[in-house]
Amino acid sequence: MNLPLNKAFCDTSFFFASLCPEDSNYEKAGEVLEYCRKHAVTLCTTWDIVSETVTLLRYRADYNTAVQFLDKVKPVLLIVTYDESARTAAEKVFKKLSRDKKLSLCDAISYVVISHLLDNIPCLTFDKDFRSLGLTVYP
């Protein structure tokens, strides 16, 4: 795995897989997290991803797993903030690409943050949309 600057952007699908043993990517997510721990990789995300992850965990797993994410995972993340120009750019990305791809607005925001604010750092995700956007994706 090549993680320039020892940073990676984490998506909801990665967080969910790492916390839910029933997920088909659970073991792979654990291996990636172990690599990140050993190599002191900074895990970046946005508040949008935190919100989406907590909601998904609450609906598809349970309350305790959602709270575990908030109490144990969120504190070690670098939450990337952005301004209105990033939101406007994300709306443009969404309008341009969502007609042909099933791209969420959250994914469009992530794309703008990764490509404009984080110098295209790799993404930890199991979501195929990130790869289709031309981002570097692991695993």
Question: What would the pLDDT profile of 95-118 be if each residue is shown by its tens digit?
Answer: 999 888 889 999 999 999 999 999
Q: Is the pLDDT of residue 4 over 80?
A: no
Which residues partner with 45 through β-bridges? Answer: 79
Q: CA-to-CA distance for 57 and 15, rounded, in angstroms?
A: 9
Residue 117 sits in a domain of what CATH number?
A: 3.40.50.1010
Asked if residue 111 is part of any domain, the answer here is yes
Model pTM above 0.85: yes
pLDDT in tens, 21-80: 999 999 999 999 999 999 999 999 999 999 999 999 999 999 999 999 999 999 999 999
Both structure tokens of 88: 């406007």
Counted domains in the chain? 1
Q: Evaluate whether residue 139 is within a structural domain.
A: no
Q: Quick check: 3 pLDDT over 90?
A: no
The band of 2, judged by pLDDT with boundaries at 50, 70 and 90, is confident
The boundaries of the domain holding residue 106 are 8-133
Crossing angle of helices 47-60 and 12-19, rounded to 10°: 40
Q: Is residue 71 part of a domain?
A: yes
Give the model's pLDDT for residue 63.
98
Please determine, for residue 1, whether its predicted confidence score (pLDDT) is greater than 90.
Answer: no
CA–CA gap between residue 61 and residue 77 (Å, rounded): 21
Tell whether 2 is covered by a domain: no
Count of alpha carbons within 13 angstroms of residue 45, beta-carbon side: 22
* DSSP symbol at 76: G
For 97, other C-beta atoms within 10 Å of its C-beta total 17
Residue 74 lies in a domain: yes
Q: What does the pLDDT average to over 92-96? A: 96
pLDDT, residue 10, reads 98
Distance of CA 57 to the CA centre of its chain: 14
